[in-house]
Amino acid sequence: MSEARRGLGSTAPSFHSISGFDPRPAQQATLELPLDRQGSLTVLEAETGSGKTEAALARFMRLFHAGEVDGLYLALPTRTAATQLHRRVHEALVRAFPREDERPPAVLAVPGYLRVDDHEGRRLPGFEVLWNDDGKAALRHRGWAAEHPKRYLAGAVVVGTIDQVLLSTLMVSHAHMRATCAARHLLVVDEVHASDDYMIALLEAVLRFHLGAGGHALLMSATLGSAARGRLLAAAGPEPELPGLDDAVAEPYPLVSHAPRGESPQRHAVAHVGAGKGVHPRLLRAADEPEAVAAAALDAAQAGACVLVVRNLVRDCVATQLALEALASTRGASELLFAVGGIVAPHHSRYAREDRTRLDAAVEALFGKQRPSGRGRVLVATQTVEQSLDLDADLLLTDLCPMDVLLQRIGRLHRHDRPRPAGFEQAQVQVLVPEQRALGQHIRADGTALGPHGYGTVYGDLRVLEATLRLCERGGTFVIPEHNRALVEGSTHPSVLRALVEDLGEAWARHGERVLGGSLS
């Protein structure tokens, strides 16, 4: 990496040279953070689509130029997000390091893929890899870290999934090697969620080791609550006092919190740029009826809308897709269904690697920023499309999920300025719920929960789902990002959950104790 550092010259690359545009306030605030030679933890909270990734790259370039880090690991929530972002990171490195021999390799850390920079590898017998390098022997060395998951964290600039980092704190083989390899990296975690206690607990452990070794970390989120933020910042120093609900809602947004190792965090309020997005939530009591979901989606597509349907479970996704195909066939509207190579398909995680690559490319082409206009289309998917992807739908139909996750899904709605079809000028989300409203019926005698559509399994805390449902039932308009704090705190703040349990009774109290015990174990 010494050649790469020398290649930067006497000053770190400017933000414009990395991204191609001038920094927004949140990006500028991140760029101006101190280097903190003893290590540091930064939490960047800003709305989806605000350029948090570019802010992370700029932070890395400053730390790298100063010799504070030797590499970067950018951890994403899904394989789809990682593969899409890898290309953007490689393009940024090309701009920052014009000479290829001085450029650090950009490794894709997703099992099943073999990619470094813009080169694809092919696995051969005997654990060998053939790189399409046109005879360049140097690529064998650049691609070494991409050839096996246990090597990923030894790469220079690595874009991968969060599980590769979390494995460093679990009792699994080579966990210590992963943690040690990452110690000199800037660890960037994208889309940290307020409602996922298990992931927060694992991430806390990762950060304590990483910062204890003098490392630097940057956490990014559009939907982080005060309780989760405080727990994570405590990995660097004293745990901040949990604010009351009103104070938590009044916290600035966007916000940059920066904690040098061993010190209390410093907060930097950042001005919001751009107009807010008004989203009208509506409940559709059809979660148990894939035919009704398919009809609502196809009606909108036939009216010219690009429709995104997000189900919590693969089986619900497949059932909705089959119902959609049958209905589209009877209406003669099969051309409105998302297809790859002429074959209609849903988007979820249970595909072979070759199919995933084609699916991801098709989703970006048909639902991304450059998607064709003037024609409706329907995509049925799972959580594989809810985060870190630049998708732009006119209408969102989504299963009930925690509010912080719902806001991520809403981030795929009206993401860019473009003409909208009649009737869809305002962003709309239809939240799919069962006909039977009572979530408490899924709580068992021991406090665990097991219900349909991921209630109690994918999303284990029914208290958060209940609080989210109540916010959606309240009606009105969600103004994003102005209401982000109120929505997230209104569904995850400990005082809200306590009040909800007191209102709903003993079974919910047992469930809350079970959730708390699981997060502490």
Nearest alpha carbon to residue 481 among 253, 252, 192, 194: 253
Query: Which residues make Cβ contacts (< 8 Å) with residue 502, sequence separation at least 6?
Result: none
Please state, in angstroms and rounded to a whole number, the distance separating the CA atoms of residues 374 and 501.
48
Concatenated DSSP letters for 363-386? HHHHHBTT---S--EEEEE-GGGS
- pLDDT (0 to 100) of residue 104: 93
Query: Which residues make Cβ contacts (< 8 Å) with residue 194, sequence separation at least 6?
Result: 221, 223, 224, 225, 227, 228, 402, 404, 488, 492
Q: Return per-residue pLDDT of the chain as tens, 521 residues.
A: 566 676 676 677 788 888 888 898 999 999 999 999 999 999 999 988 788 999 999 999 999 999 999 999 999 988 888 988 999 999 999 998 888 888 999 999 998 888 999 888 888 887 788 887 655 566 678 889 989 999 999 999 999 999 999 999 999 999 999 999 999 999 999 989 867 888 899 999 999 999 999 999 999 999 999 999 999 999 999 988 999 999 999 999 999 999 999 999 999 999 887 778 899 999 999 999 999 999 999 999 999 999 999 999 999 999 999 999 999 999 999 999 999 999 999 999 899 878 888 898 899 889 988 888 778 999 999 999 987 678 899 999 999 999 999 999 999 999 888 889 999 999 999 999 999 889 999 999 999 999 999 999 999 999 999 999 999 999 889 999 999 999 999 999 999 999 999 999 999 999 999 998 887 76
Concatenated DSSP letters for 177-228? HHHHHHTTEEEEE-S--SS-HHHHHHHHHHHHHHHHTT-EEEEEESS--HHH
Q: Return the SS3 of 324.
A: helix
Angle between helices 314-331 and 290-302 (to 10 degrees): 50
Q: Cβ(421)–Cβ(305) under 8 Å?
A: yes
- pLDDT (0 to 100) of residue 518: 80
Angle between helices 484-492 and 462-473 (to 10 degrees): 140
Pick the CATH number of 277-520 from 3.40.50.300, 3.30.420.40, 3.40.50.2300, 3.60.20.10: 3.40.50.300
Q: What residue ranges of the chain are covered by domains with CATH 3.40.50.300?
A: 277-520
> Positive or negative CA dihedral for 198, 199, 203, 206?
positive
CB atoms within 10 A of CB 150: 15
Secondary structure letter of residue 457 according to DSSP: T
- pLDDT (0 to 100) of residue 6: 67
Please state, in angstroms and rounded to a whole number, the distance separating the CA atoms of residues 430 and 4.
49
- pLDDT (0 to 100) of residue 273: 75
Secondary structure letter of residue 479 according to DSSP: E
∠190-465-492 over CA atoms, to 5°? 60
- pLDDT (0 to 100) of residue 134: 56
Query: Which residues make Cβ contacts (< 8 Å) with residue 316, sequence separation at least 6?
Result: 287, 290, 399, 453
Pick the CATH number of 2-7+23-101+155-269 from 2.60.120, 1.20.140, 1.25.40, 3.40.50: 3.40.50
Please state, in angstroms and rounded to a whole number, the distance separating the CA atoms of residues 298 and 261.
53
Token pair of 391 as six digits:
């998708």
Q: Cβ(245)–Cβ(219) under 8 Å?
A: no
pLDDT in tens, 449-505: 999 999 999 999 999 999 999 999 998 899 999 999 999 999 999 999 999 999 999
- Tokens 């429709």 found at: 307
Secondary structure letter of residue 413 according to DSSP: B
Q: Return the SS3 of 65.
A: helix
- pLDDT (0 to 100) of residue 135: 54
Cα 451 from chain centre:
25
